[in-house]
Amino acid sequence: MSPQSSIQIGLNAAIIAMVENAPAILRIPGPGPVVHDALPFGPFDPSQHRTMELGLRQWVEEQTALKVGYVEQLYTFGDRGRQRQEGDSGPHVVSVGYLALTRWKEEQAAKLAASGASWKNCYLFLPWEDWREGRPAVLDDVILPALHDWVTMKGNTSVAAGLATLDQGNRNRVRIAFGLEGINWDEERVLDRYELMYSAGLLEEAVSDERVASTNLTHSLGTQMLNDHRRILATALARLRSKLKYRPVIFEMLPDEFTLLALQQTVESIMGRTVHKQNFRRLVESNQLVEPTGKTSLSTGGRPAALFKFRREVMAERPAPGLRLGRG
């Protein structure tokens, strides 16, 4: 088998923690003359790694000095051309993406800095996903007009009749993914939105992959990442938003003791939208996810706030102990 037709398995970690009231991704400087933010990654070597997860944990620790806790496999990314490098004649890389959750600790900062790793707000890479302060202006100012031009093939006067069905299919994809024409915005469709913008040539990754010569936009749509790492991040955020509704993974990102306000703010940050305070507290209480510690905190700056902890018994009591949120 020639090098051009061989395959290498790569392991990529989307590690998310709460940093400064926002979901943050652990990034490392990518290789190459143009340094882009990258996810911790490395090849799977079956002679050294008994499992892919163990291999992933090894690469993360070597590259960031961080030992991760909760890890789950996301998806396998094998598209050709999604990590094109000029003059590259090496094996085709099939990337296995993982979602990992951890707690941010100030004492980790020195070790991370020494390794070159650091935390960066997820919404710097996916700015259209953060609705906590209202509908992001970039949607109506940049993204939706550009997608409209794409689905209508504006400026193309020689469109074959056979493309009409494809055009309508893309139009429907945009309607559903971006919540248009009476369809509600679905926060879980993070990857769908990213893929549409990539397909339309609106993201710098499409330029790097030589899908388009230029985005033709005057406004950059978030920070570019190495290869298809931003695609993996979008998949990770979508999975995390979905997971919150049926598994109590939110507590992997919180300290052992927390206020209900901190819990609410963490959920809002991940979901990218606000929730109604009283409805949220009733939901938490009715699901019996937490229990009081008997202690209080003065960190809120007002009256002492009660501290709570995750009630682990809930895992054995019912199959899906998550937070199914209504609209805020």
Q: Write down the H helix ranges in 152-298.
A: 164-178, 190-199, 204-208, 229-243, 260-271, 277-286
Q: How confident is the model at residue 154 (pLDDT cuts 50, 70, 90)?
A: low
pLDDT, residue 285, reads: 86
Fold of 7-122: Nucleoside Triphosphate Pyrophosphohydrolase (3.90.79)
pLDDT, tens only, 281-301: 998 888 889 999 999 987 766
Mode of pairing for the β-strands spanning 7-18 and 23-29? antiparallel
pLDDT band at 326 (very low <50, low <70, confident <90, very high): low
Question: Is pLDDT of 164 > 90?
Answer: no
What's the pLDDT at 222?
96
- Average pLDDT of every residue of the chain: 88
Q: In whole angstroms, give the CA distance from residue 7 to residue 80.
A: 11
The answer on pLDDT for 159 being more than 60 is: no
Is the pLDDT assigned to residue 226 strictly greater than 50? yes
What is the pLDDT averaged over residues 73-87?
72
Cα–Cα distance between 36 and 31 in angstroms, integer? Answer: 8
Q: Is the pLDDT of residue 317 over 90?
A: no
The pLDDT score that the predictor gives to residue 97 is 94
pLDDT at 231 over 90: yes
**The pLDDT of residue 223:** 97
- Residue range 8-16: mean pLDDT, rounded: 94
Mean pLDDT (whole number) for 219-233: 94
Task: Yes or no: say if 16 and 236 are a contact pair by the CB < 8 Å rule.
Answer: yes
Q: Which fold has domain 248-317?
A: Arc Repressor Mutant, subunit A (1.10.10)
Q: Which residue has the higher pLDDT, 218 or 191?
A: 191
Average pLDDT of 122-146? 97
| Alpha-carbon separation of residue 171 from 142, 175, 212 (angstroms) | 17, 6, 20
Burial class of 96 by CB neighbour count within 10 A (0 to 12, 13 to 18, 19+): buried
Per-residue pLDDT of 243-291, as tens digits, reads 999 899 999 999 999 999 999 999 999 999 999 999 999 988 888 899 9
Helix (H, G, I), strand (E, B) or coil at 249: helix
Asked whether 190 and 234 are in contact (CB, 8 A), the reply is: yes
- Tell me what the mean pLDDT of segment 10-35 comes to: 92
Place 85 in a pLDDT band, splitting at 50, 70 and 90.
low
| pLDDT value for 157 | 43
| Residue 80: predicted pLDDT | 63
CA distance 264 to 312: 19
Confidence band, pLDDT 50/70/90 cuts, at residue 328: low
22-26, 72-76, 104-108, 193-197: range with lowest mean pLDDT: 104-108
What are the domain boundaries of the chain? 7-122, 127-222, 248-317
pTM value surpassing 0.85: yes
- pLDDT band at 319; cut points 50, 70, 90: confident
